[in-house]
Amino acid sequence: MQPNDLYYEERNPSPLQQAWLDFYAKPLARASLYTLCFLLFIALFGSWLAPFGANEQFSELLSLPPAWSNHGDLRFLLGTDSLGRDMLSRILHGARFTFGLPLLMVCMAALLGISAGVMVAMNVGVASSAVKHLLGVLFSIPSLLLALIIIAVIGPGLPNAALAIGLVFVPQFLLTTRNAIVEELGKDYVIASQLNGVSSRYLFVAVILPNIVKPLVTQFTLAFSAAILDIAALGFLGLGAQAPVPEWGAMLALSVEFAYNTPWVMALPGLALFITLISVNVMGETLRSTLQARMEH
């Protein structure tokens, strides 16, 4: 913008700019955005950044407290666990399983679910109503329980848990997309463009899609936070990641027996999980309110 504008003009920032301005204005939201970028970085490159391997044991240094305590060692910044493995390295390695894997799974579920939802919604008919009833059943059962059903069939293990969590969120995306599109289809502006004779592809991409971004983004952030929690919960219950894998939930499960003597082994993975979840939730909330403000504008 030139500073010497003659007339007052209402400036409408683009959605991305608007989102950035909103994130910029709220310190908590900005912090969560930075945290998530950092987590993404760690999930991608954590295994190279880590000073030691995830399962590298130092048998002479078992249960070493973090470096800031009197008995700590600076080589092991966050201490070691009861088997002499470096906590910092394990947490860095674990980000890939607890943050990266759910992100990947939810992205895939979103891709599948949204495209199926679009197909169902754009071809309204008998099939659509049947699909709605069937998904209504699946939708009211919480995702962890559904994932447990799938794991009961295909057996425990990290790949199976990831698959189960991916599958669980597909119908949710499908249902959200379908309902959002069906709601928009009845509105005047859609009917107007239909009267203009646009093709159904154009109708969806250029007319409806910009107006259903909010429910889709909301669903994505909710599903992402639920997926992280679910994969950690499955790891904790011993049905997801198995013992030596440095998944944060599985690390918490291992720490149960040693929590009293070595509290940091329990506190650190839990804290990492807590910070991750709170960042995802704050970011979701901010994005939602940004999009809401834009809709009302």
Partner 1 sequence: MIRIILRQFTVLALTLFVLTVLAFSLAFWFPGNAITNASGVLVTDIHYQAVATARAFDKNIISQYLAYMAHFFAFDWGVSLQDGASVWQEFKLRFPATLELSLLAMALALLLGPPLGILAAMHHNKPIDQIITFFSLSGYSIPVFWMAQLSILIFAVALGWVPIAGQVNPLFDIPLVSGSILVDIWLAEQPYRGIALLNALQHMILPVIVLATVPLVLLIRLTRNACVDVLRLNFVKGAYARGLSTPEVLFKHVIPNTMQEVTLHISTAFSLLITNTLIIEMIFSWPGLGRWLVRSIYERDYPVIQGVLLLLASLILLVNVATTIFHAWRFPRVRRELNAT
Does the protein bind partner 1 through residue 133 (CB under 8 A)?
yes
Q: Compute the least distance from the CB of residue 271 to partner 1, in Å.
A: 8
126 binds partner 1 (CB under 8 A): no
Under rule CB under 8 A, residue 256 binds partner 1: yes
User: 117 or 269, CB closer to partner 1?
Assistant: 269
Does 185 engage in binding with partner 1 (CB under 8 A)? no
Residues in CB range of 4: below 8 A, 6 or more apart? none
Calpha distance 165→148 (Å, rounded): 9
Residue 31, Cα to own-chain centre: how many angstroms?
17
- According to DSSP H, which parts of 186-262 are helical? 188-195, 200-202, 213-237, 248-255
CB 204, min distance to partner 1, A: 24
* Contact call for residue 278 and partner 1 (CB under 8 A): yes
Residues in contact with 20: Cβ distance below 8 Å, sequence separation at least 6, in sequence order: none
Which listed range, 37-45, 138-146, 164-172, 188-196, lies at the site for partner 1 (CB under 8 A)? 138-146
Q: Residue 78, exposed/middle/buried by CB under 10 A (0-12, 13-18, 19+)?
A: buried
d(CA 50, CA 129): 52
Query: From the list 25, 124, 243, 259, which residue makes contact with partner 1 (rule: CB under 8 A)?
Result: 259
Q: Is 245 in the site for partner 1 (CB under 8 A)?
A: no
| Residue for token pair 């506190």 | 267
Site for partner 1 in 19-78 (CB under 8 A): none
CB 96 within 8 A of CB 123: no
Residues that bind partner 1 (CB under 8 A): 133-134, 136-137, 140-145, 148-149, 151-153, 155-156, 225, 229, 232-233, 236-239, 249, 252, 255-256, 259-260, 263, 266-267, 270, 273-274, 277-278, 280-282, 285
